[in-house]
Structure 1
Amino acid sequence: MTVGIVANTQKKGARSTLDRLMGVLAVRGISTALERETAGLLGVQGGLDGPELAACSDVIAVLGGDGTMLNAMAKLGPTEKPVAGINIGTLGFLTSCTDEEVGQFADALLSGEFSTSRRTLLCATVRSVDGSEKEFRALNEIVLARGQTGRLVSLSAYVDGDLLNHYRADGLIVATPTGSTAYSLSAGGPLISPAAAAFVITPICPHTLSQRSLIIGDHMTVELAPENADEAPMLFTVDGRDCVTIHAGDRIEVKKAEQSLNLLRLPGHSFYETVRQKLNWRGG
C-alpha cells in the first residue's frame, strides 16, 4: 500500500504532523509518496505533482484543515482514490481524524476497517459572451456575487431551463451537500446530509427577505446570469478560489460532475458527530 501525502506547508504544526504520520506508516510497512511542496517542507527531492501523486497512491492523506482539503482536490484533479483529511487541530467537516489520531488512521489502513463517504462534486461551465468556455469543479460551492461595487446586483437563476427567480442580492450560492456546512450555511441555508442527492441554491443577503434557500435534485442543471449591464462585472468563485470576472451576457451552467470524492471515514467518526461538535449542539 502507498499513501500519498499533501500537506498545508504554511500551517503551524504541519512539519511535526507530517513527521509523525510518516513515522507511524513506516513502522507498519506502508509506503509513502509526497506532493511536490510537501516534499519541499522536508527538504527532500522527488516530490510529485497532484495528478501523479493520485495515480501512484492507494490512499491520499491531506494534512491541514477543510480549506487544505478544498485546495488539495483542485491540485489532485479527478480521482476516485480514497482521500483522508488529517486535521491539524480540532476535527473539521471534511477531515477523517485529528493529528493526534494518525496511529489509529494507519491501523485502519492495515486492517481495512474504514469506510468511504461518496461526496458529490459540482461541474461549472462559464460561457463568455465572446463564445469561449471554461470548466471548473467544486466540492463545496460556486458563487456568483457582486464585484467591486458595494450595491446589490441583479441576477437570474434557471433550473432545467425554467426561470427560478430574478434576484436582487449580494450574490447567489449553488452548493453541494458537503458545501451546505460552509458558505451556504453562513448565508442562512440548511444543513444537508452528505448522502442526499441534492443541491441547495442560497441567495446572499437578498433585498426581499422572503427569498430563501431552495433544495433541488442533483440531476438538475442550474444556470446563472447577470441581468443588468450597468452592474457588471460580477465575480464568480469556486470553493473560494479561481476568481473569474463575469460580464453582461456571460452565462454559468452548473451540474453534477461525473467524478465524486471518496472521503475516508474512520470507525467512530461520522458527519453527525462532527455537526454536533462544530455547531455545539446539545440537548435539554
Structure 2
Amino acid sequence: MKIGIIANPHKPGAVKAYGRLVAALAQRGIASQVDSDTAKLVGGVGLAGPDLAAKSDVVVVLGGDGTMLHALATLGRTETPVAGVNIGTLGFLTSCTDDELEEFCDALKSGDFELSRRTLISATVVRGDGRTREYVALNEAVLARGQTGRLVSMKATVDGDLLNRYRADGLIVATPTGSTAYSLSAGGPLISPSAGVFVITPICPHTLSQRSLVVDDATEIELAPDGLEDGALLFTVDGRDCDEIGAADRVVIRKDPRALKLVRLPGRSFYGALRQKLNWRGG
C-alpha cells in the first residue's frame, strides 16, 4: 500500500500532523508520498495532484472540509479513495481528527474502513457563441450577483421545463454532500449523502414563497440570467473557479458519471457528524 498526502500549508499544526502521520504509517510498513505543494512545506520532492492520485492507494488530506474541497480540485478526476484528517474537530467530509491518527492508520493497514460514494456535479458554462467550459463540484454550483449590490434576475429550468424566475442574490444547486454547506446557510434542507437528488436553493429571494426544491439527480438543470440590466453574474463551484456569466450565457448542470469515494472509519456516520456539528441535543 502507498498513501498520498496533501496538507494545508495555512492550517496551524499541519506540519506536526504530517510528521505524526508519516511516522505512524511507517511503523505499519506503509509508504507515503506527497503532492508538490506539500513538498514545499515539509521538504522533499512531490507529485502533481493527478499523478499523486494515480500512484496512491488512498490519498489522505490534512486540514478540514475546505482543504478537502481544494484537494479534490487538485487531484482531478480520479477513482482513488480520499480520506480527510481534520486538524481540530471532526468535519462533515473528514474521516477522523488528528488525535485519532493511530486508529486511522490501523484501519488503513487492515482495510477495516468503508467507502462512502458521494455524488459530484458536472457543470458546463455555455457561452452565447457556443464556447463551453466544464467544472466539477462536490458541494454545489452557484450562480449569483456580480458587482452590483442589488438583487438579480435568474431563471431555472429542469429537463427543459421552466421551474421558476427568481429575483434573489443567487441560486444554489447542491449535492446531498453540499446540503450541509452553503445551501444549509441559505435555508435549504439537510439530505442524506446516499440520496440520489439535487437541491435547488435560492439565496435571499425577494419573494419568501420561493423555497428550496429537491429534484432527482438524473435531471438536467439549467441556470441563466433573466435580466439585461443586471450586468454579468458570477458562477462558482465549491467556492472557487469564479466565472462571469453574461446575458447570453447559461449553465447546464448534470450528475457527473464519476463519484467521489470518501473513506469512513467503522462506527462513524453522517448522522453522528450532524449531531456534533449542529449541536443537536436529544432526550
- Same fold flag (TM > 0.5): yes
- Tell me the equivalent position of 2:86: 87
Q: Tell me what 1:217 maps to.
A: 216
Partner of 1:23: 23
CA contact (8 A) 1:2 1:57 kept: yes
Q: Secondary structure at the match of 1:259?
A: coil
Find the counterpart in structure 2 of residue 249 from structure 1.
Answer: 248
Cα distance in 1, alignment partners of residues 99 and 41 from structure 2: 20
| Distance (Å, rounded) in 2 between the aligned partners of 1:13 and 1:86 | 12
Amino acid at match of 1:132: R
CA–CA separation in structure 1 for the residues paired with 2:282 and 2:46: 48
Identical aligned residues as a percent:
66
Residue 217 of structure 1 aligns with an amino acid whose one-letter code is: D
| 2:27 is the alignment partner of 1:5 | no
Counterpart residue identity of residue 78, structure 1: R
2:66 paired residue number = 67
Aligned equivalents of 1:247, 1:130: Cα separation in 2 = 11
Specify the alignment match of 2:35 in structure 1.
35
Question: What are the Cα deviations for residues 118-146 of structure 1, in whole angstroms up to 9, with x where unaligned?
Answer: 00000000001122100000000000000
Moved over 3 A (4+): none
**Structure 2: tracts of 5 or more residues without a match:** none
Please tell me whether the aligned partners of residues 15 and 41 of structure 1 are also in contact (alpha carbons under 8 angstroms). yes
Quote the offset at 1:80 in angstroms: 1.0
Secondary structure in structure 1 of the residue aligned to 2:259:
strand
How many residue pairs get aligned? The number is 283
- Partner SS state of residue 61, structure 2: strand
**CA distance in 2: counterparts of 1:42 and 1:137, whole angstroms:** 29
Q: Does the 8 A contact of 1:83 with 1:262 survive in 2? A: yes
Q: Does 1:150 align with 2:186?
A: no
1:43-65 Cα deviation digits (max 9, x unpaired): 21x20010000000000100000
User: 1:226–1:232: 8 Å Cα contact kept in structure 2?
Assistant: no
Deviation at 1:258, TM superposition (A): 1.0
Secondary structure, in 3 states, of the residue corresponding to 1:258? Answer: coil
Distance of 2:208 and 2:265 partners within structure 1: 41
Whether the 8 Å CA contact 1:89–1:99 is kept in 2: the answer is yes
DSSP-derived class of the 1:51 partner: helix
C-alpha distance in structure 2 between counterparts of 1:47 and 1:112, whole Å: 26
C-alpha separation in 1, matches of 2:189 and 2:151: 23
2:87 maps to 1:113: no
Alignment of 1:199-218 (within 5 A): 199-218=198-217
For 1:88-113, what per-residue CA distance to the aligned partner results, in whole angstroms no more than 9, with x for missing partners? 00000000000011111110011111
Which runs of 5 or more structure 1 residues have no equivalent in the other structure? none
Give the letter for the 2:245 counterpart: I
Amino acid of the residue matched to residue 121 of structure 2? Answer: L
